[in-house]
Structure 1
Amino acid sequence: MYSALALLLIMLVSAGVVGLLLSRMDQQFNARLNERADTLAEAFTGTGQGLGKTASGPTAYTMLIDKGGQVLAASPILREFDGSPYPFGDRSRVTIQETTVRAAKRQVGDFGTLWVGLPEDDLIAARESALSALLVALVFTPLLLLPVGWWVGRRSLSGLEHAATLADRIDPTRSLDTLPLPAREDEVHRLLSALNRLLVRIEAGQAREKQLLGQIVHELGAPLTVLRASLARASERSEDPEVVRAALVADELTFTTQDLMQLARGQLEIRLAWHYIPARTLRDRLDRLVPGTVFTGQWNVGILCDPDRLTQALRNLLANARRAAGPDGSVTLDLADTPESLTFTVRDSGPGLPAGLGERIFEPFVSGSGSSGLGLSVSRQIAVMHGGTLKGATHPQGGAQFVLCIPNAALSDEDDALTS
């Protein structure tokens, strides 16, 4: 864009300069012609001392015309018009023997009219040279200006491009490190300084939000634990469905506070407590937390994991599946064991994932089922912390399907004997 604007400006300036140059040349030519005409007219009307001298020479263009319009005398190059009627009328520019001549007239007393011409060959050649130079400049200037402008622009914007690259590498889920500043204090330096100040404010705001969220979760945790234990004992002593429902709601709130605590701490602030547990232990815990789940696959293997975190991740997936399937729907959890990985597949008979959400379903507070929108985000975070992945899609036969995959660290027979 800059090169195009510069080219347009150069064209306008060049055209103006050439136009001014041609105008000055034309003015000088007219001044020379008028000076010549005045000199010859003065010679005719003077004392006669210089009569005829300035009009001599083979290339002189002069004629003396009487009052009747007859040519009384002419210079040698115009000898053909001598004694003939004046042939050019009122024209100021005529062609004589393929030469363009510009003419001027002067009254010379009783002699009549003096006609003086001056060839324009030099002026035309100069005009053509100037126009040719302008045309050549307009052809070659873009060829030079565009690559030079591109190179200068790339060099000038390299700092900004580097700043954009650094800004793209910022991970909002991690510590927001400030961007390195260039040595030269230019516009890029000012931009990066402003970005660094913004990053500092964002990180401070995130820290305050996490602290406040952690305090809220901590204040809710203690009474929820007491309430959950009380309702659990009450549900054991009573078959009242309202008490059982309240106990399930207390469990739901407890897991929601755990999700909030996970979100407040962040992935970098959590340390996994690794244990090698039987898969059946994990299955029994999940069966108590989400009743009605159908377990399929290979549950006779061992799992190296953080049992509490992995239980939390799978419980969130099963709770979402139960919510989507409804009380009469089906929820299954399948475990597949390979030497490389353990794959947990949660599938429900519900309507499937909401259209258009895609990977946004794993972002915090994005929900398609009316929940808090934290469960899937926390479950994926836990999967990543275990070195695995979590993906979701709508099954071709209907319903949602989530696949949580973690590396398999199965112990050998010798290691299994040692641990037992």
Structure 2
Amino acid sequence: MTPGAGLYSAKVAWRHSLRFRLALTYSALALVLIMLVSAGIVALLLSRMDQQFNDRLNERADALAERYTVTGRDLGRTPSGVGVYTMVIDPDGKVTGASTILRDFVDATFPFENQSRVTIQDTQVRAVKRKAGNFGTLWVGLPEDDLIAARQSALSALLVALFFTPLILLLIGWWVGKRSLSGLESAATLADRIDPTRSLETLPLPGREDEIHRLLSAINRLLVRIEAGQAREKQLLGQIVHELGAPLTVLRASLTRAGERTADPEVLRAALVADELTFTTQDLMQLARGQLEIRLAWHYIPATTLRDRLDRLVPGTTFAGSWGSGILCDPDRLTQALRNLLANGRRAAGPQGAVTLTLSETPEHLIFTVRDTGQGLPPELGERIFEPFVSGAGSSGLGLSVSRQIAVMHGGSLRGRNHPEGGAEFTLCLPNAALGDEDDVDDGSLDDPAPAILTR
């Protein structure tokens, strides 16, 4: 993986994973805290080590100065201890005596003056001075090799801890977050599968009554209120449609008869408006009932029967393809679905445009293709064009939603696209069924939506 890809993955994980954000935040805060605490501990440790070194140096210097002054023995016969550097400086600033390693400085001017740290043969030495009676000044030094090594070891340990601690904390935080949020993740997965158009399901609650438990309980209460609200809306919508249905049916029939008697264009236009309103109420009823509450009345009808019904409902439609086969369907529902597609096409094409319904057949499917010469589907809507009350042409937005619902109830599908040559094209695909023996078939309603006598 390239560094850029790794950075992009980290950004995605930061935005979309609560576990990752919690683990990363926890690790960053822990790292800062550990850095502060560790730096304080190391600083205190090094300070104590430095203080102990100074105490040791001063104790050694005091002991040597006292012994040298009291006994009066010269430096050559006074043991200064292993790893201790000593020199005696007379009042004139010359070295009169020194340890073995410093014999080269004897009878020479004291080279270090007031320096507290000097380098002797590549060794860092810390030194102090003490009065040595009549002999002058005693210079005592201790090598700092052990102190420097201890300081470097402490700093190395601190750097190693700061390097590995964030990784360990991140892994631990990720694991703890995964365990702690497992109930929330499973609830989110289940929530993604909830279909709001069907009966809403409540989310499972974790065993511990923590913040996640309270959150999911609140979501469940919200889902219950949403389901109750949807039920009330459907009930109200059904009542409204029921109240409108009967008067519209009477009005439609009356206008149709009046138009046939008088041939008045205004009356005929009013009959078409009443017809449009009637189908809109049917769409609303379909939406109010919902797919699960509707049972199809299956019939095996000639395709020409369906064509004739559509020709009367949507005048000016051009029919193409093969209409000599039979169709197993609910005639009223399938007519409603195709009529909605044709009416939308007629509305989009306008008076001068064309709407074509083509029926093609394969061994497995019957394919109804509705194409118009209008402006086409709004590309920004996409699949949302099949959602209720979503429209790109100023209509109610119910026709396409109901048509897809009817297609699915028949075991088929409905898809839409913009045709390469212009206009919109909808394809309603149904399973094809032919009858093996006409004598075994009843022309009435079929209780089983997929009878065993239907063969290809």
What is the TM-score with the length of structure 2 in the denominator?
0.84
Say which of 272, 286, 289 aligns to 2:310.
286
Q: Does 1:210 align with 2:238?
A: no
- Point out the more displaced range, 212-221 or 152-161: 152-161
In 1: Cα distance, 2:115 partner to 2:300 partner: 113
Please state whether the residue corresponding to 2:119 is helix, strand or coil.
strand
* Counterpart for residue 392 of structure 1: 416
Q: Does 1:126 align with 2:150?
A: yes
Mapped contact 1:55–1:62 kept (Cα < 8 A): no
Q: Does 1:297 align with 2:321?
A: yes
* Distance change (3 Å), C-alpha of 1:205 and 1:51: farther
Aligned length: 419
In 1: Cα distance, 2:241 partner to 2:82 partner: 113
* Counterpart for residue 379 of structure 1: 403
In 2: Cα distance, 1:55 partner to 1:65 partner: 17
* Distance change (3 Å), C-alpha of 1:90 and 1:247: same
User: 1:182-216 deviations in whole A, cap 9, x for unaligned?
Assistant: 22223332332222122112111211221221122
Q: Does 1:15 align with 2:39?
A: yes
* Counterpart for residue 257 of structure 1: 281
* Counterpart for residue 18 of structure 2: none
Please state whether the residue corresponding to 1:63 is helix, strand or coil.
strand
Q: Does 1:87 align with 2:118?
A: no
* Counterpart for residue 296 of structure 2: 272
* Counterpart for residue 164 of structure 1: 188
User: 1:395-419 deviations in whole A, cap 9, x for unaligned?
Assistant: 2222211111111222123446765
How far has the Cα of 1:172 moved from its partner? 1.2
How far has the Cα of 1:322 moved from its partner? 0.8
* Counterpart for residue 96 of structure 1: 120
In 2: Cα distance, 1:50 partner to 1:249 partner: 132
How far has the Cα of 1:248 moved from its partner? 0.7
Say which of 59, 72, 85 aligns to 1:35.
59
Please state whether the residue corresponding to 2:411 is helix, strand or coil.
coil
Matches within 5 A, 1:18-417: 18-43=42-67, 48=71, 56-57=80-81, 59-108=83-132, 110-142=134-166, 144-415=168-439
Please state whether the residue corresponding to 2:300 is helix, strand or coil.
strand
Please state whether the residue corresponding to 1:356 is helix, strand or coil.
coil
What is the TM-score with the length of structure 1 in the denominator?
0.91
* Counterpart for residue 10 of structure 2: none
In 2: Cα distance, 1:3 partner to 1:419 partner: 74
In 2: Cα distance, 1:50 partner to 1:213 partner: 118
Mapped contact 1:55–1:61 kept (Cα < 8 A): no
- Point out the more displaced range, 389-398 or 184-193: 184-193
How far has the Cα of 1:51 moved from its partner? 9.2
Mapped contact 1:228–1:247 kept (Cα < 8 A): yes
How far has the Cα of 1:54 moved from its partner? 7.4
Mapped contact 1:43–1:51 kept (Cα < 8 A): no
Task: Kindly provide the amino acid, as one letter, of the partner of residue 196 in structure 1.
Answer: N
How far has the Cα of 1:136 moved from its partner? 3.6
* Distance change (3 Å), C-alpha of 1:111 and 1:253: same
User: 1:355-385 deviations in whole A, cap 9, x for unaligned?
Assistant: 3222111111111111111100100000001
Mapped contact 2:374–2:422 kept (Cα < 8 A): yes
In 2: Cα distance, 1:5 partner to 1:318 partner: 64
- Point out the more displaced range, 118-127 or 76-85: 76-85
- Point out the more displaced range, 171-180 or 191-200: 191-200
RMSD between aligned residues: 2.5
* Distance change (3 Å), C-alpha of 1:121 and 1:387: same
- Point out the more displaced range, 183-192 or 376-385: 183-192
In 2: Cα distance, 1:276 partner to 1:56 partner: 120
Mapped contact 1:58–1:75 kept (Cα < 8 A): no
* Distance change (3 Å), C-alpha of 1:213 and 1:24: same
Structure 1: gaps (5+ residues): none
Mapped contact 1:344–1:405 kept (Cα < 8 A): yes
* Distance change (3 Å), C-alpha of 1:412 and 1:134: same
In 2: Cα distance, 1:337 partner to 1:94 partner: 103
How far has the Cα of 1:351 moved from its partner? 2.0
Mapped contact 2:376–2:423 kept (Cα < 8 A): yes
Please state whether the residue corresponding to 2:320 is helix, strand or coil.
strand
How far has the Cα of 1:40 moved from its partner? 3.7
* Distance change (3 Å), C-alpha of 1:127 and 1:265: same
* Distance change (3 Å), C-alpha of 1:62 and 1:417: closer
- Point out the more displaced range, 287-296 or 71-80: 71-80
Mapped contact 2:86–2:138 kept (Cα < 8 A): yes
